[in-house]
Structure 1
Amino acid sequence: MQTGGTKYAQSGKVNIAYQEFGSGDICLIVIPGWISNVEQFSHIPPLAAWVNHLTSFCRLILFDKRGTGLSDRVNENELPNMDQRAEDLLAVMKHANIEQAALFGLSEGGPLGLHFASAYPKKVSKLILFGSFAKWVRSDDYPYGLNEEGHLKSINYMAENWGGPVGLQLMAPSVMNDSEVQEYWASYLRHSASPSAAIALYKMNLDIDVRSCLKKIKQPVLLIHRTGDKLVESGHSIFLHQNIPGSELFLSEGTDHLPWFGIKREELTAILTFLLGGNIVKDKRLDKLKTEDVFIIYAIKDYIEKKFNEVISIKGLSRKFGINEFKVKSGFTILFETPVITYLNQTRLEHSIRLLTNSSLSISEIAERVGYTHPNNYTIAFKRRYGMPPNQYRTELNKDAFK
């Protein structure tokens, strides 16, 4: 998967790293949890596939909160409060020319989403919270989560084990014993924060309490939580639902805390339906495919966009991605409303246009560059799509250049 290129928004004296993907009328900003790195997500295949799914129908913004990932580090004595983090998000929106967006608050990103929606109501169209909470530490008036002693044990565990797959048994227990997942999760954590930064940011989270914001939320809110979540118990979202007027609560099965592990098709459908304003009661395209199939087909699309100049066939794609040929053909058409081979040819032809415009390569050389074995097949496909053969197209370009 290609990344969108890291950009920086300035919030006071602090630089906030972000990337943007996709396009469309809907803009969705993902507020990460504890730590993140906008250039490392593509190294986690399930996360890359999850991002790919979201970008299929919206403009997506990912950013690193101050102190994490590629954003500026902060002094332990100057950890940001909720107001400062809200200003950071506002800076990203301003730099990306976003007047209003839907927010996806993941875990600890949820409280920031709630605070931001309360402080800047005109900037937020909708709010999705996944595996989130209003308060991080259990108390007499909030009977959810760990008490301070429990959190202290977590901090000590991090201090002793940072560098390895810390917290995977809670974040994604379904894959905790997978050596490949352990490796890329540990790498992601190391790229997201240093040991001292990770601990300092965790300690900062102990002060999170946005219960005073809940009654002020006027935007549509969708709460998604897995009933067996090992890190953040579902009672947190039940509490949010009871205290946010008009909110919708979707409880799904599963123990993984992170949405891209153990993904449920129903969760994807709920997100899509909610963002589209409820016009689609159920996404019929997804009904015909398993969740694993959806991700594989997005991976096939990404592969075509990168490897269009290679020999590609339905049979070859089926073997490479471990999915039967019927699903390759029917699934691609369902998701992208065009047959897979048609999409391949369109990709090749669009790239050839750039070569015709910006290079002196011969027609035969261009045909070979974009994946056509025989130049004649390229010429026929080009004429069918653009109404003239490629040599005439180039001639017309040259005529226009000298006018």
Structure 2
Amino acid sequence: MIPETRYAKTVDGVHIAYQVRGDGPVDLVYVMQYANNLEVVAEHPRAARFLDRIASFSRLILFDKRGTGLSDRRQTPDLEMRADDLRVVLDAVGSERAVLFGESEGGSLVAFFAAAHPQRVLALILFATLARYAWAPDYPFGMRRDEYEARRGALVSGWGTFDYVRGLVEEQAPSMAGDADYIRWWAKLQRHAASPAAALEFEDVWYGTDVRDVLGSVQAPTLVLSRTRSDGLSPARDLADRIPGAKYLEMPGFDQVPEAGNMDEVLDAAETFVQSIRAEETVINRALATVLFTDIVESTAKATGLGDAAWKDVVERHHRTVRAMIGRYRGREIDTAGDGFFATFDGPSRAVRCALAIVEALQAIGLPVRAGLHTGEVEAIDEKAGGIAVIIGARIGAMAGPSEVLVSSTVRDLVAGSGLVFEDRGEHQLKGVPGEWRLYAVALH
């Protein structure tokens, strides 16, 4: 089933057609060659299988570049304009950061985007991409001018025809040269992507593209994929060498189209890379923090004794007090449930003093609360906080008594010299946490 095609509108009023496939844990934008149409590309089984596989491990985002396919065909965009259109699509689907997977000239676009908008790019995958498309004395991988002029002439007379596409397939996807259905599909895709005149304009933009000067600014982890070229040159390796820290993988076969030949090699490499980036992000998203858990002691009994209306007033005053103290000591409220609060602090001393302030302020109005603290690596999960350090903090909080602030030995050791006084509460087992944990109560003022 073909996903619904939707439109994102650019600041200059152009409608960019896009689709979203799958619901995987990471956003991935696949940018194909310019001759594309979202609703025709998946008509061939190999192309459909290629896209379905990507959608199996990601939320796959596709779009037709302005001037082609189902997008408005008002003008032929330059590289900067296409990058702006990509950003508009990311905004439309609510993607803050995505893996960008570019094929051929689509790779030039995503590399440029990554250099210009590093905060929006989780990683780059480039397949059969060149840093420059025209030959130059310092770039022997490009196409010479006379060869390009011959290519232009062939395009004008043959665009979208079986014979013209058969020549392209023989050159770019030789393993599919004997497949008439594949050639007919590609020819149809051309006709539905652009007119001959529009295709010629895109070819001219393509031939003039040179992203060599921006590749050194790419910060995103990058995987450059290539198959062996029949001319023996290796422009993809040159591309990888220009991107800091890029990984290069060359696979056997002469097909320069990813769904041709052994597509599983390409897809396996892409999926493994995406998984490694996700694993790395999990580590990067961890930060040392002190977690604080508080709640009202015997809240159920108090609520029953006071009645709903009076208890509501108590809880509201409790919440105001706790939030005021968290703000005063520059903490961050992560979650609240019933009468319990969970907050994090970037300094253990401030976290302990916040807990003391909460306990003492509420004790003064006859409302005993308990607090537990621990310091460790906290993992950011969808703007929340998680990980074993959070579990330990919650378990310590549950063990505290009325109007007591209980901390782990880690917290006590980190605040040495702060003037805080602790009383040893001995070793304890924490539910679900291995080992014995020595806990300390903070002396109230």
- Answer whether TM exceeds 0.5 for this pair: yes
CA distance in 1, matches of 2:219, 2:212: 15
* Match runs of 1:142-153 below 5 Å: 142-153=139-150
Match of 2:251 in 1: 252
Aligned to 2:239: 240
Question: Could you say which residue in structure 1 is the equivalent of 2:15?
Answer: 15
Structure 2 match to 1:71: 71
User: Could you tell me how far 1:145 is from its partner in structure 2?
Assistant: 2.3
In the alignment, the residues of structure 1 paired with residue 106 and residue 264 of structure 2 have an alpha-carbon distance, to the nearest angstrom, of 23
- Kindly indicate which of the two structures has a greater share of residues assigned to helix: 1
- Name 1:189's counterpart in structure 2: 190
Kindly indicate whether the alpha-carbon contact (under 8 Å) linking 1:229 and 1:256 is maintained by their aligned counterparts in 2.
no
Which amino acid in 1 is paired with 2:79? M
For 1:154, the equivalent position in structure 2 comes to 151
Measured after TM superposition, the shift of residue 25 of structure 1 is 1.7
Which string of whole-angstrom CA distances, capped at 9 and with x for unpartnered residues, describes residues 85-122 of structure 1?
Answer: 11000000111111110000100001111110011000
Q: Is the 8 A contact 1:34 1:108 kept in 2?
A: yes
Q: Which has the higher strand share?
A: 2
SS for the counterpart of 1:52 is: helix
1: distance between equivalents of 2:273 and 2:227? 18
Separation in 2, partners of 1:132, 1:66: 20
Choose the corresponding residue for 2:79, options 64, 68, 82: 82
Whole-angstrom CA distance in 1 between matches of 2:52 and 2:214: 32
Partner of 2:26: 26
Q: Which of 98, 102, 117 pairs up with 1:101?
A: 98
1:225-244 alpha-carbon deviations (Å, 9 max, x no partner): 001368xx752111111111
- Alignment partner, residue 303 of structure 2: none
Match of 1:110 in 2: 107
Aligned to 1:214: 215
Following superposition, the deviation at residue 178 of structure 1 comes to 1.9
State the alpha-carbon separation in 2 of the partners of residues 22 and 234 from structure 1: 37
Which position in structure 2 is the counterpart of 1:173? 174
Q: CA deviation at 1:264?
A: 4.2
**One-letter code of the match for 1:108?**
E
- Does structure 1 retain, via aligned residues, the 8 Å contact 2:159–2:196? yes
Counterpart CA distance in 2 for 1:112 and 1:180 is 30
Contact 1:131 1:234 (C-alpha < 8 Å) held by counterparts: no
1:119 and 2:145 aligned: no
Determine the C-alpha separation between the residues in 2 that align with 1:30 and 1:261: 16
Whole-Å Cα distance in 2 between the matches of residues 169 and 153 of structure 1?
Answer: 17
Query: Residues 120, 268 of structure 1: CA spacing in aligned structure 2 closer, same or farther, 3 A cutoff?
Result: same
- Residue identity in the other structure for 1:110: G
- Report what 2:39 is aligned to: 39
The answer on 1:275 being equivalent to 2:266 is no
Q: How many residues align?
A: 275
Shift of the 64–278 alpha-carbon distance from structure 1 to 2, 3 Å rule, reads closer
Provide the residue aligned with 1:303 in structure 2: none
Find the aligned partners of 2:263 and 2:41 in 1 and give their Cα distance: 20
Q: 1:279 offset after TM fit, Å?
A: 7.9
Distance 2:98 2:219 in 1: 14
SS at match of 2:77: coil
Q: 4+ residue stretches of structure 1 with deviation over 3 A?
A: none
Give the CA deviation at 1:6: 0.4
Alpha-carbon shift at residue 278 of structure 1 (Å): 5.9
- Give the structure 2 partner of residue 6 of structure 1: 5
Q: Secondary structure at the match of 2:114?
A: helix
* Deviations 1:222-263, CA, capped at 9 Å, x for gaps: 000001368xx7521111111111000000011111100102
* Correspondence 1:261 to 2:260: yes
Quote the Cα distance in structure 1 between the aligned partners of 2:239 and 2:273. Answer: 18
Distance 2:37 2:20 in 1: 13
Superposed CA offset, 1:312-336 (max 9, x none)? xxxxxxxxxxxxxxxxxxxxxxxxx
- 8 A contact 1:228–1:253 mirrored in 2: no
Moved more, 79-88 or 119-128: 79-88
Gaps of 5+ in 1: 281-403
Letter in 2 for 1:198: A
Correspondence for 2:373: none
State how 1:231-380 maps to structure 2 within 5 Å. 235-277=234-276
Structure 2 distance, partners of 1:179, 1:273, is 33
For the Cα contact (< 8 Å) 1:226–1:234, is it kept in 2? no
Q: Using the TM superposition, give the Cα deviation of residue 265 of structure 1 relative to its aligned residue in structure 2, in angstroms.
A: 3.1
% same residue: 36
Relative distance call for 1:151 and 1:98 in structure 2 (3 A) is same
What's the counterpart of residue 205 of structure 1?
A: 206
The amino acid of 1:157's aligned partner reads A
- C-alpha contact (below 8 Å) 1:34/1:202 kept by paired residues: no
Q: Which residue identity is paired with 1:107?
A: S
CA pair 8-279 structure 1, distance change in 2 beyond 3 A: closer
Question: What's the secondary structure of 1:29's corresponding residue?
Answer: strand
One-letter identity of the residue aligned with 1:81: D
SS in 1 for 2:276: coil
- State the Cα distance separating 1:34 from its structure 2 match: 2.6
Distance in 1 between the 2:104 and 2:216 partners?
A: 20
List gaps (5 residues or longer) in structure 2: 280-445
Task: Compute the RMSD of aligned alpha carbons.
Answer: 1.8
SS in 2 for 1:188: helix
Greater relative contact order, per chain length (Cα 8 Å cut-off, separation 6+): 1
Deviations 1:329-387 (A, max 9, x none): xxxxxxxxxxxxxxxxxxxxxxxxxxxxxxxxxxxxxxxxxxxxxxxxxxxxxxxxxxx
